[in-house]
Structure 1
Amino acid sequence: MDDDVRGDGTAALLAYSARRSLTDAGELDDVRRWLAEVEHQAPMRVRRVSLDDLEMWETDPSTGDISHRSGGFFTVGGLRVRIPGQPVEEWWQPIIRQPEVGILGILVREEDGVLHCLMQAKAEPGNARTVQLSPTVQATRSNYTRVHGGRAVPYLEYFRDPSAHRVLVDVRQSEQGAWFHHKRNRNMVVQADSGVEVRPGFRWLPLGQVLGLLAEKDMVNMDARTVLSCLPFAREHGDPRPERRGDDPFLSALRRSCVRTEGALHSMVDVLSWITDARSRIEPRTAPAPLNALRGWRRAEGRISHESGLFFDVIGVSVEAGEREVTRWAQPMIEPHGQGVVAFLARPVDGVLHVLVHARVEAGYVDVVELAPTVQCTPQTYTHLPASARPRFLDEVLAAPAERVRFDSVLSEEGGRFYHARNRYLIVETDADPAAVEWPDFRWMPLHQLAELLRHSHYVNIQARSLVACLYGLLGADTRE
């Protein structure tokens, strides 16, 4: 790494790695071939089966709740939700309860001044693209304590006892609050020495290459995205290289957005006060409800569905996988109806890129509200809801001209619990007046403020974290020398 970027330590190493490890066509083809080889050598076979026929799972005769006979893993139950003041104030739904905290960990090392990540080619039963780039370790507590009686999780020791190594990231983060109730995972990045054995199904990849692959459809899984978003990219000092005539103003503003001294439209004190006010003002009321008595939902033909045909189903799958800790199992999964849209509106404010975040309430959050993207929805859902429920800014995102769309990729959500759940992730440049579009639940924030919040739990939701990782990926578009 150049001497002039060492002063900012880890943040400078990350910035240098992002721009020095660009993905060219040959590198991309190589990663594709590797994923295809792993899938060919250890194929995963997934069959849809009736919820009534899930081996090792049972339905409570009084509530209809579905749980594993071991008492581990997760339970599918019901939830009654009331959130006064929302476009839809009350509803009932199935939800996954998984109180244990899992580990999502990426092992990294520095090679020739560039950070490399030990990525896993991992298959999940719900993935639309079966094998995706995943963290080094991606395991629930039930998995890594071997409730299933299977093999040990590779590389787990680096994350169960990280004190022997340099920890870059260690923070608990939430997952989808619409489908999980109080679900959290420990997101970790641990730096190791050069003596790490590379096992089959794993490969060291430059950080910039991993970030660049976020632009590839279904290539990098959700668990890798959330860990990457927590990397401490925020810096105290700007880029020592002078800007040149012809530099892309958007990318220049993006670089400055990672620098704390470049400022922000709102101070961090004001941002924290705004979040606290939303958490104090909004009072969601949730209560467990029997899965077999949820208003508007029915269990028939081996699945649980909403009477409207919208939202999602709870389905069953049977899985055979030769290279997993357990080679054969069955489980329930959530299957959403329709592809979602997840988008940031972005614009420079005084030369610093800001994104428009939404203080969003979801029934499954631990602390009422988390910062979400500008738009986060499944558009077809709103055919069933009143017009007032249509998400603000959705139409602007969908109608954006191509030259305003800075990032556009379809990415899968967590394939261990969700079946073919995919969202179209977008970063859309806007020239809207910042003051004119800041509604009570929306604020403009630069990346360095989001990075600061990501050092702590339950501030930035899983969808926004994916988009933060995608913004870091755009840093690799800077080819200046």
Structure 2
Amino acid sequence: MLEKKFLNWLKSANDFSKPKVILIDIKKLKKWNFTERTINHESNRFFNFKYYKVLSKIGNISKLFYSPFIVQQEVGILGILIKRFKNEYKYLLQAKFEPGNINKIQISPTLQATKSNYNKVHKGKQTDFVDFFLNSINKRNYIFNKKLPEQGTRYINKYNHNIIIESKSNNIKVPKNFLWVTKKEIKELLKKNNLLNMDTLSVLSCIVKKEPNVVSHNKKIEINNKISVFDKLHNQKINLTNLTNLKGWKYHNKKIINLNKEYFSIIGIRTVTNSREIKSWDQPIIREYHNGIVGFIVKKLNNSLHYYMQIVKEPGYKKPLLTGTICVKNFGIKNYKNNFFINILKQKKKSKILFNKTLSEEGGRFFHKQNQNLIIEIKNQINIAEKKNFIWLSHNQMVDLIRKGTISIEARNLFLSFNVEKIL
């Protein structure tokens, strides 16, 4: 159960922030340009939307679709400061408002900032702790630092630095909206839907510890070969187009919509708050038509838990990634009647739900977007053959591949949520 200090802390952050988000015509966003080719900020910084035609080929099977994507070439920083208090680590987290957060305030990393933000392109206040992280990066003084991929069906080639830094200082000034949090408290926070920010989960996934005496079902060379074969079979061409030629999409009723109500719409919002670098700003933001679902099927192989992972080649990335057994960005159960993950979920006598929680996408680019996160353990007598684009991975292999940057953000966040007790 959440302690009273957390509830008071979150209430205090929300009361101070006084956030307000207003929907406005996407063509009337202040400091943004709306054209046939793009939606971009007048500074040519932050991010923009562009329109793409995507052709995917797997062997002789082709799929053509059209979609807007977020283009944000800057590599941002997602950083968590940790410090040892007596015999345990604590993690410095902040109660942060983002305009797309379904619950306004979420518990975010110590630093969650784009390069445009921490370079003050907005001409506002400096982001807390940014100099601390930049100095540590320059001095190579960190526990972990790696560029990891973001959502490859919504972004084009978007990475963020995921950084963990340990401080030995006793003179860190902690603002009111920050709090040192224990591992046990993070576990409690995960019991609440939409409370822990997805970027917090992503960073913490990088410091999940390995387990002793694990015998993996597949060897490293077998994993690499399977990914390589999938990569060679899966060809993908992605080309820029304009809004008029973006089949299935149009500007309508003050926003860009998908005519079949698939994927998402792009809406315009105006934000007012006391707790960010500037008091007010306009921006475009993605609004999904349906919630998503991210799930693992797990099973004990060689006496240790293994994850049945899917190999995908998302439009936003040139190289394949490993994601959940199921990872659907717009989830409608009616559309997935024949999906084996859903079928196993229904077979309660053959499976057991180990984790089931609703978690939000990042609220700076996604408006009220939620994913159901599920982990289902199947009984040992149930055999699932490894399909061409699926493979069993052990806990330790998951740890290695997260740190390597081969696991999707959805999968690494679910992995962390299930293994939070194993972080540093």
Shorter-chain TM-score: which interval? over 0.9
Determine the structure 1 residue equivalent to 2:385. Answer: 437
1:273 is paired with a residue whose SS is helix
- Structure with more helix by fraction: 1
Q: 1:374 aligns with which of 316, 321, 325?
A: 325
More strand by share: 2
The question of whether the paired residues in 1 share the 8 Å contact of 2:2 and 2:189 is answered with: no
Return the alpha-carbon distance in structure 2 between the equivalents of residues 268 and 314 of structure 1: 41
Letter in 2 for 1:133: I
Greater mean alpha carbon deviation, residues 203-212 or residues 222-231: 203-212
CA RMSD of aligned residues (A): 2.2
Q: Deviation digits for residues 36-68 of structure 1, max 9, x if unmatched?
A: 2100111210011110110100112xx241100
The count of residues paired between Structure 1 and Structure 2 equals: 420
Q: Which residues in structure 2 correspond to 1:343-382 (within 5 Å)?
A: 343-367=295-319, 369-378=320-329, 380=331
Q: Which residue of 2 aligns with 1:224?
A: 200
Note if 1:313 corresponds to 2:265. yes
Please give the residue correspondences for 1:426-465 in structure 2 after superposition, counting only pairs within 5 Å: 426-431=374-379, 436-457=384-405, 459-465=406-412
CA distance in 2, matches of 1:437, 1:379: 27
Residue among 412, 415, 424 paired with 1:468: 415
> What is the CA-CA distance between 1:32 and the residue it aligns to?
2.6
Q: Which moved more, 1:142-151 or 1:372-381?
A: 372-381
Give the C-alpha shift of residue 164 in structure 1: 5.3
What 5-or-longer segments of structure 2 have no aligned partner? none
Q: In the TM superposition, what is the alpha-carbon distance from 1:433 to its structure 2 partner?
A: 5.3
Structure-1 residue corresponding to 2:146: 171
After the TM superposition, which of the residue ranges 135-144 and 85-94 deviates more from structure 2?
Answer: 85-94
Q: Quick one: structure 1 residues 436 and 410, their matched pair in 2 at CA, closer, same or farther if it must change by over 3 Å?
A: closer
Task: Work out whether residues 344 and 350 of structure 2, in 8 Å CA contact, stay in contact via their aligned partners in 1.
Answer: no
| Paired residues for 1:266-277 under 5 Å | 266-277=218-229
1:159: Cα distance to partner?
Answer: 1.5
Aligned identity (percent) is: 27
Match status 1:190 vs 2:144: no
SS at match of 1:127: coil
2:255–2:268 contact (8 Å) kept in structure 1: yes
Flag structure 1 segments of 5+ consecutive residues without an equivalent.
1-24, 235-257, 477-481
Q: State which of 248, 251, 259 in structure 2 corresponds to 1:296.
A: 248
2:39 maps to what in 1?
66
Paired letter, 1:137: L
- The aligned counterpart of 2:100 is 126
Note the C-alpha offset of 1:136.
0.3
SS of equivalent to 1:452: helix
Cα deviation per residue 1:66-96 (whole Å; 9 max; x = unaligned)?
Answer: 1000000111111111111398711001111
Give the residue type in structure 1 aligned to 2:66. Answer: W
CA displacement at 1:199 relative to structure 2: 1.1
How far, CA to CA, are the matches of 1:411 and 1:338 in structure 2?
A: 14
1:12-31 maps to which residues of 2 (within 5 A)? 25-27=1-3, 29-31=4-6
Q: How does 1:7-46 map to 2 (within 5 A)?
A: 25-27=1-3, 29-46=4-21
For 1:454 and 1:408, the matched residues in 2 are separated by: 21
Is the Cα–Cα contact under 8 Å of residues 58 and 67 in structure 1 kept in the other structure? yes
Structure 1 residue 195, shift from structure 2 partner: 2.3
Q: Is the 8 A contact 2:184 2:421 kept in 1?
A: no
Q: Residue 413 of structure 1 contacts residue 423 of structure 1 at CA under 8 Å; is this kept in 2?
A: yes
**Partner of residue 422, structure 1:** 370
Deviation at 1:157, TM superposition (A): 1.7
Equivalent residue, structure 1, for 2:353: 405
Q: Which residue of structure 1 aligns with residue 127 of structure 2?
A: 153
Letter in 2 for 1:120: Q
For the residue of structure 2 that corresponds to 1:427, the secondary structure is strand
Deviation, 1:292, is: 3.4
Name 1:243's counterpart in structure 2: none
CA distance in 2, matches of 1:134, 1:281: 39
Deviation at 1:196, TM superposition (A): 1.3
Which residue number corresponds to residue 244 of structure 1?
none
Counterpart mapping for 1:134-149 below 5 A: 134-149=108-123
CA contact under 8 A between 1:312 and 1:337: conserved in structure 2?
yes
Q: Is the 8 A contact 2:183 2:421 kept in 1?
A: no
SS of the residue corresponding to residue 244 of structure 2 reads helix
Q: CA deviation at 1:203?
A: 0.5
- CA change 1:379–1:420 in 2 (3 A) is closer
Answer yes or no: is the 8 Å Cα contact 2:291–2:370 preserved in 1.
yes
What amino acid is the match of 1:416? G
In 1, distance between residues paired with 2:239 and 2:381? 41
Provide the rounded CA distance (Å) in 2 between the counterparts of 1:400 and 1:151: 53
User: TM-score normalised to the size of structure 2?
Assistant: 0.93
Change beyond 3 A, Cα 1:94–1:116: same
How big is the shift at 1:410?
0.5
Q: In the TM superposition, what is the alpha-carbon distance from 1:197 to its structure 2 partner?
A: 1.1
Work out whether residues 212 and 473 of structure 1, in 8 Å CA contact, stay in contact via their aligned partners in 2.
no
